[in-house]
Structure 1
């Protein structure tokens, strides 16, 4: 501001150039500009304005700075001239200073007129002659402090209003004596005293009975500055005519002044007497409810909350869960986790909780283990949603009554009734019931159809449907059954005429009278059977019996003739078997004898005259070969014949030993061919060891005989048990069993075309020339016969050049 003041063109003002100013003005301005305290000066008749840097911030932005410098006061402060004009005049005329504190003096600054508070003094400014030539203003702005005071006042007023209007009891106690500084009507009502009787008084002089324990708490809060919170605190005070007591939620808050000192304690009291009593009532109610559940004679459980936590369950329900008391306070989803039934039970509970709709069911089955006994148990089940005061579902109450015995009995009864009804239906029975007192008869649909009458009629109407000649004695039978000395049972047969069609039926009726405690007849229960067809059948049977008797006599005559023919056939069969045995003997002895002579003389001729025969030697050699083949053929035929007519298949035979024997017999051939054999463990079966030996010796010798020229034979004998269903459809064993031993004999020989699979088991069938492979073509026929004799079947599978596999199926018995 010093620079602005020096550069200002004072020549245009009433003061003139600065160097022409009186010394008093210059000194005053110099002191003003060098002061660190906010100051400004009005000088001369026009009250020209001067101000320093300390005052400059009070002018704000976009206001009077710097334009007010060198301007007349009235032109600069028109908005407050009505206030400051008289003050300036007063100071100028009286030469007396004035002082104002926190005075509101509006000022235009920051682009607007603001209400600003000041503490200031107006002092006369003298010239060198001692005359007042101006006014020196010393000031500082107090707007922030005044605003703060106003806020505090407003806050205090608001606090007082809040305290007075608060529904919660509030009291402020100050000093060591705990004097009541502030108290509201709610607190006065709480202790049943008027506000006027409390204000300014020492609290414990008014309610000394509350001094303990509250004085100690108040003292602690004042000393520590820490609030104290008490909940459901019991209290009591004397009131006119008695004692007032209840429960309070209390907050003890230190009462702090602006300087931070603690002068007292503010106490907030909320009367929670009713809430505490209500909670206690709820607790007592819940305790009674829990006791009721725990002592309930039926299984009871309470599932609480959306997670369905098992909060209460009596011992009966805990037993049903089968997991002990560990289920308590667990969500049902953590308890039922095993089966689909568990998932269904949880879903049902969820539905009841979500929809608030109760669920009731009877005879619900559940697979449980109760007291160590697993089984299916039955329950009458009830799931009831429980609501809170707001009407919201907060829990589900389950009760389960064990009705296993009743349900089992009911189901047994139902099953018995069903079986009885099935029997009645199968027997084509009808039923009826007669009420003795009303003489009304209730008929089953079958009986009503037989009579052609409604199901409910009187006895007389039904009696009229009976053939007239039989009514009297049937009535007598009924009357006799109703007598006290009777056992009440009767059975009659009679004829009824259908009421609409006129068709007659023969019926058999049984009845049993039911008595009351005084041996008086109450009702008759009975059954009706239509025996019309039986009677017609009986007549037909009598006719057929006579007819069959006549036919039997004729058949007996024919049987006698047939028996004579059968005896003749048996004699022929015996002769045939004897001839077959004789053939076997002739083949064994008589046919072999000439062949042996041919062979012996052939050997003699070859030895003695072989050199003289020339080309005849070749003929002789061929003759010997033919004789040898004939001998082998006869021997094989004999073997085949014996297998067909002689067999002993009743002893256990170890196939392992049989194969071992066959391998020993072929030992030389195995060694010559370099063959290798791989043989699995084989079973023991019922059979003929000799025949089984022929079977495996023929199969093994064929495997060695029909080998490939450039490869050593390799033979495998494998065994496994297979079900009958796995056999090929075309194979039909001679004995049917659920399972078979499958024995495979596989080689790596020359094999054969599978189109010959059936042909190779026929007698004399060969697939190769006799000069290439020796043999008679009977070996495999013998194998098939042996397997058939033992209840099995044999089959072969092969491809040329890839070996052959023979599959044998023996019964697994």
Structure 2
């Protein structure tokens, strides 16, 4: 449509029309004398009167929501008054158009009155636009504010709602007012004016940062200094700043909650001071006890050295008379001029056998005492070479029993060659000694690796390694009942009589001491008549 009161050329009128359409703004003109309204298609759409380029003033009023008509008429009459500025600005609802959810459409009309030479208004021209979305957003925001105000007022926690970039106190509850030492008159004022003592403290900057960025901020046991009844008061708080969003997603405020933890902080600091004193006292006691333990360890070390020296001397001194008993007994048995009667010969043989057993026992005790309980000068050694020497040492026993030995490739470990040789010699000797009489001995040496976390619950290595070589000595001998598992690794413990099987009952105790000395562990699996498996765990270097 063309503008009946437009004084410019058609090109300028077209450009203006295009701009208004792009902005979805309608234009209208009220002829005061004729009481008629000329408007464009956008206006017709907004008022719900499509296809009517010209309508009467009464027809226009009829399209306005009934409750809003008086306000609109008053705005028009005020603009037409000669004494007024002539400007027209009003918001209202239409009764002829609705939104998709059935609500009245909100419009915002603005215009200006034009007067003749006598000062009488003859025309009112202006624009109108749809503000339904803005009004609904504003209404939802007010609902949200009301809800937050209710939450703030009824919260048992000290709470305040700040709004706007000036951080204005919108609503605050009594617990927060008590902390501030203020009353409800602070509402509606910027917090920096109400509490100027916050300058130089971090709170105002934090509030503005949360408002600007939308990032929440939480802090525990934070010190705050406020003026209460004219006196500075220092307290500690757990507090939180959380952004509050409008329905359109913009931030319109910050919700602040605070919990006074002054009593807890003071008590905690007193407790920390008390524990600090106790810690110092405990440290002194530990140092004193450490000195006492060092002295005790030195005494124990001397005692162990004396014990080892005694064991060596005792075994040496015992060996000499034992050798004489054995030698003289053998001589008497072989060189006596007069033949010995059967009883004398039996008693003499018992004496020689007892001497042999005593000699073996002394040798084993000496070996057991020499296996130290700590690692000294360990180096990488080849278990393959150690096993080869052991098999060479046991060659005669293997040949006599007809045993079959199956050996996998053995790894290198950190350890002592002599002790590890003693370990595997004792294990193989046991397999040969306790062979079943009805079958040829078969001994297998198996090798694998295992993580500490997967070890059986009853296997507890003495060291701290995380990976272990798992070396098994498997035989098909007479076996044993595993209820005696703990007993077989103790000194002088035997499961069979000495007349059935030779030995001193010290061999497996030596094995356990060697393995523990190397940071590992040893265990066994067996069933009577089904053979035995002794498993050695040694740390992977």
Asked if 1 retains the 8 angstrom alpha-carbon contact of 2:481 and 2:526, the reply is: yes
Asked if 2 retains the 8 angstrom alpha-carbon contact of 1:598 and 1:624, the reply is: yes
Evaluate the alpha carbon distance shift between residue 787 and residue 568 of structure 1 in structure 2; reply closer, same or farther with a 3 A threshold. Answer: closer
In 2: Cα distance, 1:444 partner to 1:790 partner: 71
In 1: Cα distance, 2:482 partner to 2:256 partner: 71
- In the other structure, the counterpart of 2:463 is 735
Asked if 1 retains the 8 angstrom alpha-carbon contact of 2:375 and 2:518, the reply is: no
Alpha-carbon offset, residue 529 of structure 1: 9.4
Matching residue within 467, 473, 488 for 1:760 = 488
Structure 2 residue 506 is the aligned partner of structure 1 residue 778: yes
Structure 2 residue 371 is the aligned partner of structure 1 residue 643: yes
Q: TM-score with structure 1 length normalisation?
A: 0.37
Asked if 1 retains the 8 angstrom alpha-carbon contact of 2:415 and 2:518, the reply is: yes
C-alpha deviations, 1:386-437, integer Å up to 9, x for none? xxxxxxxxxxxxxxxxxxxxxxxxxxxxxxxxxxxxxxxxxx9999867466
RMSD between superposed Cα atoms in Å:
4.5
Matching residue within 494, 513, 536 for 2:225 = 494
Greater relative CO (CA pairs within 8 A, separation 6+): 2
In 1: Cα distance, 2:497 partner to 2:312 partner: 30
Aligned length: 350
C-alpha deviations, 1:294-347, integer Å up to 9, x for none? xxxxxxxxxxxxxxxxxxxxxxxxxxxxxxxxxxxxxxxxxxxxxxxxxxxxxx
Alpha-carbon offset, residue 693 of structure 1: 1.0
Structure 2 residue 189 is the aligned partner of structure 1 residue 459: yes
C-alpha deviations, 1:125-183, integer Å up to 9, x for none? xxxxxxxxxxxxxxxxxxxxxxxxxxxxxxxxxxxxxxxxxxxxxxxxxxxxxxxxxxx
In 2: Cα distance, 1:691 partner to 1:607 partner: 39
In 2: Cα distance, 1:562 partner to 1:797 partner: 43
Structure 2 residue 300 is the aligned partner of structure 1 residue 570: no
Rg: which structure is higher?
Answer: 1
Matching residue within 472, 475, 495 for 1:744 = 472
Matching residue within 379, 384, 388 for 1:656 = 384
Asked if 1 retains the 8 angstrom alpha-carbon contact of 2:408 and 2:446, the reply is: yes
Mapping 1:70-149, distance limit 5 Å = none
- In the other structure, the counterpart of 2:76 is none
Structure 2 residue 527 is the aligned partner of structure 1 residue 803: no
Mapping 1:275-286, distance limit 5 Å = none
- In the other structure, the counterpart of 1:629 is 357
In 1: Cα distance, 2:441 partner to 2:172 partner: 84
- In the other structure, the counterpart of 1:162 is none
Asked if 2 retains the 8 angstrom alpha-carbon contact of 1:495 and 1:507, the reply is: no
Alpha-carbon offset, residue 563 of structure 1: 6.1
Evaluate the alpha carbon distance shift between residue 700 and residue 442 of structure 1 in structure 2; reply closer, same or farther with a 3 A threshold. Answer: farther
Matching residue within 407, 428, 436 for 1:708 = 436
The DSSP-based 3-state class of the residue aligned with 1:575 is: helix
C-alpha deviations, 1:225-271, integer Å up to 9, x for none? xxxxxxxxxxxxxxxxxxxxxxxxxxxxxxxxxxxxxxxxxxxxxxx
Alpha-carbon offset, residue 633 of structure 1: 0.2
Alpha-carbon offset, residue 566 of structure 1: 3.8
Alpha-carbon offset, residue 717 of structure 1: 1.0
In 2: Cα distance, 1:625 partner to 1:656 partner: 36
In 1: Cα distance, 2:538 partner to 2:359 partner: 33
The DSSP-based 3-state class of the residue aligned with 2:355 is: helix
Evaluate the alpha carbon distance shift between residue 443 and residue 494 of structure 1 in structure 2; reply closer, same or farther with a 3 A threshold. Answer: farther
C-alpha deviations, 1:63-82, integer Å up to 9, x for none? xxxxxxxxxxxxxxxxxxxx
Matching residue within 579, 587, 598 for 2:314 = 587
In 2: Cα distance, 1:531 partner to 1:766 partner: 72
Asked if 1 retains the 8 angstrom alpha-carbon contact of 2:524 and 2:534, the reply is: yes
Evaluate the alpha carbon distance shift between residue 434 and residue 497 of structure 1 in structure 2; reply closer, same or farther with a 3 A threshold. Answer: farther
The DSSP-based 3-state class of the residue aligned with 1:767 is: coil
- In the other structure, the counterpart of 1:600 is 327
Evaluate the alpha carbon distance shift between residue 542 and residue 595 of structure 1 in structure 2; reply closer, same or farther with a 3 A threshold. Answer: same
5+ residue gaps, structure 1: 1-427, 465-470, 482-490, 512-522
Evaluate the alpha carbon distance shift between residue 476 and residue 705 of structure 1 in structure 2; reply closer, same or farther with a 3 A threshold. Answer: closer
Evaluate the alpha carbon distance shift between residue 686 and residue 525 of structure 1 in structure 2; reply closer, same or farther with a 3 A threshold. Answer: farther
Asked if 2 retains the 8 angstrom alpha-carbon contact of 1:680 and 1:717, the reply is: yes
The DSSP-based 3-state class of the residue aligned with 1:602 is: helix
In 1: Cα distance, 2:381 partner to 2:160 partner: 66
In 2: Cα distance, 1:492 partner to 1:602 partner: 95
Evaluate the alpha carbon distance shift between residue 649 and residue 759 of structure 1 in structure 2; reply closer, same or farther with a 3 A threshold. Answer: farther
Alpha-carbon offset, residue 497 of structure 1: 7.2
- In the other structure, the counterpart of 1:690 is 418
5+ residue gaps, structure 2: 1-156, 206-221, 242-250
Matching residue within 400, 418, 423 for 1:672 = 400
